[in-house]
Structure 1
């Protein structure tokens, strides 16, 4: 079952996708406005149902991935330090 963050993220992605119809984008905007206060939902890392070991593993993988931006690496490092 997807989390609220995943559902909202899908709708946000749909709004930016040039290959989706205006009708689809309007639906996503309506869902975000009505169900998610414009898309204001917890970030995936703030989800309390996540396995902390898996989260830490993902953050460590981010630090070692050459295709990840420095900004993302800095964020991952900070989140690891908070764990």
Structure 2
């Protein structure tokens, strides 16, 4: 898989799932993503799994940062502790 095309595919998937992106832009992203996947140069499963793994790590890091932030409410810190526990962190 081309690393560049994998990054492009992930970017278009992000655009499709972003509520702040217009329907016209989402349509364009769907078209580009379809063309990339048809080319066979991008392994669809590997880009999704690496993105999911990276996402989980980012979520955990964000919640850990939240716990050490003195400006965060106790309620928010409790929620972060719950999420980290669910993630096994």
More helix by share: 2
Q: TM-score range by the shorter chain?
A: 0.3 to 0.5
After TM superposition, the score normalised by the length of structure 2 is 0.43
After TM superposition, the score normalised by the length of structure 1 is 0.46
The structure that has the greater radius of gyration is 2
